[in-house]
Amino acid sequence: MVVKHEHSPAVLQVVRYGLPLVILIFYVSASWNFSYTPDSAFLSLRMAQDIVGAGTIGPMPAHPSGVPNPLWSFLMAFAALVNVDSILTAKVFSLFFSSMVVLLSYLLASELLRDRFLAFCAALAVATSGFLLQVAPSGSALPVALTVVLAGLFFMLRNEYLLSALMLGLGTLLFWQAAGAFVLLMADAWVNATTARHRMRVIVVTLLVYLLTVVPWLLFAALRSLPSLPWLTGLGDFPGLSLAHGAAIVIPAVIAAIVLVGIIRRNQFNGLARESHVIVILWASWFLLCFALWGWDYFVFALPVIVIYAILSVYQLALAPRSETIYAQALFLTGLFILLHQLAFNQATKPLMAQTERDTEELVELAYWIKNGLPDDASVSAKRPELLAYYAMRPVGFWAVGSSPSTEYVVGEDEDVWGYSVIHRASRLEEEELLPGAGRFAVWRKK
């Protein structure tokens, strides 16, 4: 069994000053891509427009099956009510909460690894992840959701179940899959209770806190005939699985899996009971299942846990029990993860973000052209409708990939749309010259 380690003053100084520096560097690095805003981020902003303008809340035309994260939408609506730019607010909050993810990764690692230096290594590895660097400036609800879910896991490990239930209740108001994490919270409370009476009291009070957080929205949704399950408005445009991207995912996951097998086979490891480690493993597995079902957005919730357990492998790989050997291996492993993360970010994520920025410039131009150049009663659809609807301040339907459009006007990057003719093409900014009609996106009118 590994016990909590007493650090030398030098190690404590590294952690004390290194962690704020890592968070600052992460914030600055993510801010360099501040202009990156995926189309999906405008879904909640459009809902905030409806809340402020018409006082209504409901499904968006392109997403009739669910209401996207009411908590985030109401927060953006409040920003609009006090005359603060909604997009700027969303992106600043996104950057702030992504920085909180780095801090929470350190706190989680401290609880699981029982070693401040190894926790610092885990936080450093998480801060260099291309996933988090892409999520941070996006202005989506994903960083807030990730923050409250990780906070819920942290409080659970400290047996502060009421705070954990509150965090997971807020998470459920952002995406319904957070309820799965709450079920695991209840399981942890059941396993770690000292007596039957204590178990019943903790479970009842924890459940009450969670219900008091979630039920008001469920009642409101029922009274207004709204879909009650909030869906996460994530990015939806993560890069495809390349060699660099795959290595950055698979290698830490394989190392973490080996460590987890070793933990499960032991009765006690690192100061936490085996049952507690199993709960954390199931926690990460739940979000990996969500990732398999609904996409890359949910992988980010499991990422810090994967990195933390991968760092934990230094205890199994150490040739001697001395801390110097363990720390040297931890630094080597962290350096490997940083290398993998940065290769994936620069080869796959960064080019995608740059293309999204260029597309956003063109779509914003077309949105203003639609707003000023088309009749108010004209029907418009697009494969990426959220940004257009936000800036044009009018409904824009969803033109599904592989289907034929039926509206009077469509917006897309297609070279040809059968039955339609181009009436306006976006400009493109290239080499500091505005090239009219050279953009990828165009407005098409039915012949």
Instruction: State if pTM tops 0.85.
Output: yes
| Residue 24 structure tokens | 């600052």
Per-residue pLDDT at 65: 52
pLDDT digits (tens, 9 = 90+) for 223-276: 887 778 888 888 878 888 788 889 999 999 999 998 888 777 765 555 677 778
Per-residue pLDDT at 366: 94
Residue 267, phi then psi, degrees to nearest 5: -80, -30
Asked if residues 213 and 322 have their Cβ atoms less than 8 Å apart, the reply is: no
Secondary structure class of 423 (helix, strand, coil): strand
Per-residue pLDDT at 283: 95
Measured in whole angstroms, how far is the alpha carbon of residue 283 from the centre of its chain? 16
- Alpha-carbon separation of residue 323 from 2, 117, 314, 327, 418 (angstroms): 12, 10, 10, 6, 68
The answer to whether the Cα torsion of 62, 172, 256, 28 is positive or negative is positive
| Residue 366 structure tokens | 């077309």
Per-residue pLDDT at 318: 56
Residues of the chain with pLDDT under 50: 1-3, 319-320
Query: Exposed, middle or buried, 141 (CB in 10 Å: 0-12/13-18/19+)?
Result: buried
